[in-house]
Structure 1
């Protein structure tokens, strides 16, 4: 059975709360690797995973809170065994060479007779004498042989980077406004990576938008469950409210009034689900409603903080992340969403809050919220 030594990052800085984060990480790991026959063990500040299924490596890499996955060899605390095994592994890696290497030992077991520099010197010297075509380079080695001295030796050469962040479900809950475009799934991912439990909410405008447009967002949510496990997905029909806004208000303010309505509805869902924030995929100055003035007007419609994790990203950065998390191809499917219908010919790009409130006063906003809320649907999306 393959053994993987798992390294995690920020959790080690959590002080008295560290155990809470470690327990959640262990729980998340067991849930993710269980279908692959994975066994998870926590010992002396290190996580070990055992599995015969190589498919477990990308699963571990994509687990929030982990920083590095190290396929390891477990050996008894016997220097002769360690020397021979290290040389054998180096021969496999070097082939006909040449190659440079470095030995890095870390001794957490202080009862072991050799300290870390002595182990480095011993194993490095043995490799130099028994493996042809190798030389030491302590600054930029081609091969880094790492040894951890615990209750036994753990030796590894190959490492796989992981996503980092903190364990999912440790940093509260946020309602994420999912448009179906490129940005909002990336924003949801970024928040989940920081431990936030996400509650996806989508607004559609059937019959003006299609079932395929809604299914596109459903697919995006399903992709996010790869990282989060199952999710409840909520969607609301905004079409009647959009017609009402169009009939009563200055068209320059359609977009911002619609966003304020969405924000109110998202806040209502957040209050019911005990979420402490809203999250959007907004990116400063990307479109007319995402100017700083527009954002001020949107924020005024909620008592909750609104997180915008992509606020300073270049579009290329967002696209790159969308491709990495495999939401990009779905996001660019050419289906209309509720924001693309009833488009005004003129848009207030730098709206003043007083003017927006004056337009909103033409509506019975409380009644509009309650009427629209009745269309909410909840679906459980399985991983």
Structure 2
């Protein structure tokens, strides 16, 4: 006679990515050990026991829901299932009774199928178990073997029969750490964050290089994005963010080179900076978020001109993605809300950028620059341990505001033609270069609120004005956000 049915709320079956099973035995064992290390890191602070059971892992813990949330963010986990019921020394009758007691209400009014699989244990017929157990649920539910809403699964094991009806997806991919390292050129925007995630998903440890063109506010936004990637997805790793002050480098470029080449040359300089740091970190590649044809600098000829700046390979996981796909992925991985507030650096040049470039010309233009500025910027780069930060480091600087005070003087930092297209009524147009030259002559007893096309230049200028003693702030976001808010107000 079989022992009674026992609820088992403390066991999760974890299925590694099927691709791991295709490896040789030594490689498969190494990958599995790294996966187990990463799961343990994700479960830090949660009492648990993790063991190997044939080609899968068994996780025992009293905190099933919390552990499940962690498993959803461990690369190399294909899926997992909390076990609902255990039947010790099972036979068909006890399995029928267990299914009747636990799954009758689960399948009520829905289609279902029963799937049985043997992992050792009693020599019961899998087909007979499926037929007999399925029959006790027919009525409350309706059998559909092709595309059921609920799958009641029964695993026959040496420890008894495990019954479960839920299967949650993990991120798949390879365990983080089975490959070497790479350095991600992080802008804080949607693309670079998703590119970093996809690189980690293939087992690559990722560090980040941020070439700062936007001051403390921009750095804070990027820091929050990189911290979220590290804390939620880099289990088992210790990623770093390197902040390189690119303002002197850009100032030199703007003084010496024609505006049409700035975008391509700037990306080459960023690749050079990242390569130096990558070699210090013993990284094997650079990673960018570029997608072909998304912007003018991301054409084949321009990407070819950019790649020659580095001897390391440049990985572009998003090269064939549409923007809508990238945004969808950003929502999935949890960076959308942070990246939405991180604008691209706007108004770098009023000139029309090159859509097609020749490597020889770009290299000749770059040779006109003061190379010592780039070397010094990289030498003075700040290294931040993304997993060793307090909340104060992530707090937003006192530069951005969401509303315009009634007594503020509003300065529109768009190019003049954009100002003519649309501007906030009463705002004075003063492009970034002009404002940077003239703000010290402004009355010091007034409150100034700045906005720009995409929201990047305004915080930089507001920070400069604050350092000079002015009461200045930047409106969060760009003109699009401001215009929508204004139109809602007046409608």
TM > 0.5 = yes
CA–CA separation in structure 2 for the residues paired with 1:52 and 1:29: 16
CA–CA separation in structure 2 for the residues paired with 1:20 and 1:118: 38
Q: Which moved more, 1:343-352 or 1:169-178?
A: 343-352
Aligned counterparts, 1:205-216, within 5 A: 205=213, 209-216=214-221
Aligned counterparts, 1:161-200, within 5 A: 161-200=169-208
Compute the displacement of 1:261 (Å).
1.0
**Number of aligned residues:** 371
Deviations 1:327-380 (A, max 9, x none): 112112155x6x435324231111111111221222353x34322212200011
Aligned twin of 1:104: 115
Does the CA-based 8 Å contact 1:254-1:344 persist in structure 2? no
Give the secondary-structure state (helix, strand or coil) at the position aligned to 1:34.
Answer: coil
CA–CA separation in structure 1 for the residues paired with 2:329 and 2:124: 45
Aligned twin of 1:91: 104
Distance change (3 Å), C-alpha of 1:290 and 1:370? same
Deviations 1:163-187 (A, max 9, x none): 1111111122110000121111111
Deviations 1:268-293 (A, max 9, x none): 11111111100001111111111111
Aligned twin of 2:95: 82
CA–CA separation in structure 2 for the residues paired with 1:249 and 1:133: 75
Mapped pair 1:331 → 2:336: no
CA–CA separation in structure 1 for the residues paired with 2:304 and 2:350: 21
Mapped pair 1:340 → 2:346: yes
CA–CA separation in structure 1 for the residues paired with 2:376 and 2:331: 38
CA–CA separation in structure 1 for the residues paired with 2:123 and 2:136: 18
Q: Which moved more, 1:6-15 or 1:20-29?
A: 6-15
CA–CA separation in structure 2 for the residues paired with 1:330 and 1:347: 28
CA–CA separation in structure 2 for the residues paired with 1:149 and 1:15: 27
Mapped pair 1:371 → 2:359: no
Compute the displacement of 1:231 (Å).
2.3
Give the secondary-structure state (helix, strand or coil) at the position aligned to 2:224.
Answer: helix
Aligned counterparts, 1:314-329, within 5 A: 314-329=322-337
CA–CA separation in structure 1 for the residues paired with 2:387 and 2:379: 25
Distance change (3 Å), C-alpha of 1:355 and 1:55? same
Aligned twin of 1:31: 41
Distance change (3 Å), C-alpha of 1:100 and 1:181? closer
Aligned twin of 1:40: 50
Does the CA-based 8 Å contact 1:33-1:39 persist in structure 2? no
Q: Which runs of 5+ in 1 are unaligned?
A: none
Deviations 1:60-119 (A, max 9, x none): 11211112121113332311332211121222313xx3333211111132x632232232
Q: Which runs of 5+ in 2 are unaligned?
A: 1-8, 389-491
Give the secondary-structure state (helix, strand or coil) at the position aligned to 1:189.
Answer: helix
Deviations 1:309-335 (A, max 9, x none): 111111111111111222112112155
Give the secondary-structure state (helix, strand or coil) at the position aligned to 2:222.
Answer: helix
CA–CA separation in structure 1 for the residues paired with 2:32 and 2:125: 28
Aligned twin of 1:149: 156
Aligned twin of 1:11: 20
Distance change (3 Å), C-alpha of 1:99 and 1:242? closer
Mapped pair 1:354 → 2:370: no
Mapped pair 1:125 → 2:101: no
